[in-house]
Chains A and B, each alone.
Chain A
Amino acid sequence: MNLNKIIFLFSVILLTSCQKEDDFPELENPIPLKPNLLKGTWTTTRVIQFDKEAIDNGFPTEIQRRELTSLFPFVEFKIQFELDSSGKPGAFTVTPGNAPNFLTLSSGIWALDDYVFATSISLTDPANVNASSFRIKRLESNKISLQIVRNDLSDNTEYSYYEYEFTKD
């Protein structure tokens, strides 16, 4: 392998890794998630429901989770994240179609809990009365996995969560 080939290959590797760093953060949590990565409309491709008690108890995997994607029309569920004029998180709109909307609100303002290493996306309605959130699980290429956590009102403990896999339109 001559020097030109080595330089070429090195450049390709460097370019690829830089692109990945800028556009598609690694599958880690916390995630270096920039608002611009979320901008756009996302369509649900998969929904799995998890039983927190079964997970905590260490029960078999099939007892911990249920695939819901085909049980309800979740593929109709879309969410659009917009940026404001300064490039920061702005409005969001949920279009559930005929799918259940576990978020309990359908439009408002979104925000990240941390603009360096985000772990959640908060959603607030325009009147700032109702709020919901996504827990960020995974981000790759044009896909993102977000969890909607369910807490028991009586003791504020997490008893279940829904994990959505979205693909960018």
Chain B
Amino acid sequence: MKKLISFIFFALILTKANAQVVVNVQAKPQGPAEFISSVPSFSFTEPIKLVVDVSGVPNLVGVEPIYLWGFIQGCCGAPTNGDFCDSNEASRMTKESSNVWSIIIPSVKSYMGVGFKTAKDAAIAQGRPSDQTRFGFLVKRDNGCGGFQSNDMSIPFTGPVYIKTEFEQFPANAAQTDVITLTYNQDLENDATMKNQTEVYLYATADLMVGGSIEPFTPAEVGNTAALKFVKNGSQYTISIIPDKFFDLQAGQQIDKINILIRSKSDNNINFGPTQNIRMVKLK
């Protein structure tokens, strides 16, 4: 009996990546800013395909290519904007049809390079109803100076929503010298055998940046090692490790990823899938 951890976060992200929200807008000539509320709902961390029709902007009709200029009002411009008189190629749009251009935005978060709090603070500073967060943009010629641009447009986005999952990592990002707490929410377990376990244990290996891996405890040792036993609190089980110490790393050794398995006390049969790992960052 064993249970490979399914990283539902990853699955959700991948699912969402495939189900991208398409936002169609009609650009207008440079002039008053326009808030376009009638767009499909999308969140701060969701990918969108922004499709812009510039047929109503005389200065952009027939111009190729068209570039996106992104911003959050009261906060910042997109890091990939470049210079207004010389756009960055990363913000170049794709021609869909005559005078219709599109661009994939992996998420407002990644495109703008800010956290949700920053976007929310900007919204609060703008004094909008319900402090609504908005992604602002215009479209332009490579050299947009001299009025070769559309009006400013903005579309609303919602904040990220916390969704409890069977396995959770705290904090969401961690270095190998950080405390990492792993949580197993048994109430979300689908496997009948694992759902009935009253003791669960951690089996972990670390893949190193230079190649090779470290297995501090063999499968046979795991169920007999008290330090690997999760602490039970109702249907929630937690264990905290510091990878640096847990894997007994030598000076200079860097972990690439950590593979983990939550298992019962007696199961020694271990298999890893390709994506079961703890998200690691390098500490500055």
The residues of A with any CB-CB pair to B shorter than 8 Å are 49-60, 63, 66, 68, 71-72, 100, 102, 104, 150-156, 159-160
Contact = CB atoms under 8 A, between A and B. Distances in A.
Given A160-B171, A160-B173, A58 B120 contact: yes
A52 B160 contact: no
Contact of B174 (A50, A57, A160): A160
Given A57-B162, A72-B240, A153-B281, 17 more contacts: A52-B171, A53-B172, A53-B173, A54-B171, A54-B172, A57-B117, A58-B116, A63-B162, A66-B170, A100-B177, A102-B177, A102-B178, A150-B175, A152-B282, A152-B284, A153-B282, A160-B173
Contacts of B282: 152-154
B172 A51 contact: yes
A57 B171 contact: no
Contacts of A68: 179, 240
Question: Which secondary structure dominates chain B's binding surface?
Answer: loop
Contacts of A155: 113
Contacts of A150: 175, 178, 283-284
Interface in B144-189: 159-160, 162, 170-175, 177-179, 181
Interface in B95-117: 113, 115-117
Nearest to B159: A58
B75 interface: no
B284 A56 contact: no
A128 B240 CA distance: 33
Contacts of B159: 57-58
Nearest to B241: A71
Contacts of B115: 52-53, 56-57
A117 B105 CA distance: 42
A168 to B, nearest CB: 25
Most chain A beta carbons < 10 A, residue from B113, B171, B174, B245: B171
Contacts of B120: 58
B179 A72 contact: yes
Given A100-B242, A151-B284, A159-B281, A55 B117 contact: yes
A153 B173 CA distance: 12
Contact of A100 (B117, B179, B281, B283): B179
Interface residues of B, number: 27
Nearest to A63: B162
B143 interface: no
Nearest to A156: B284
Contacts of B175: 150
Nearest to B231: A71
A160 to B, nearest CB: 4
B42 to A, nearest CB: 15
B118 interface: yes
A38 to B, nearest CB: 25
B180 to A, nearest CB: 10
B70 to A, nearest CB: 18
Contact of B171 (A53, A72, A104, A156): A53
The 7 closest A-B pairs by CB, nearest first: A56-B115, A51-B171, A56-B117, A153-B282, A151-B284, A159-B173, A59-B162
A54 B173 CA distance: 10
Nearest to A151: B284
Contacts of A152: 173, 281-284
Contacts of B116: 56-58
Contacts of B240: 66, 68, 71-72
A66 B181 contact: yes
A48 to B, nearest CB: 11
Contacts of A63: 162, 170
B171 A159 contact: yes
A29 B259 CA distance: 41
Contacts of A104: 177
Interface in B226-277: 240, 242, 245
A153 B162 contact: no
B278 to A, nearest CB: 14
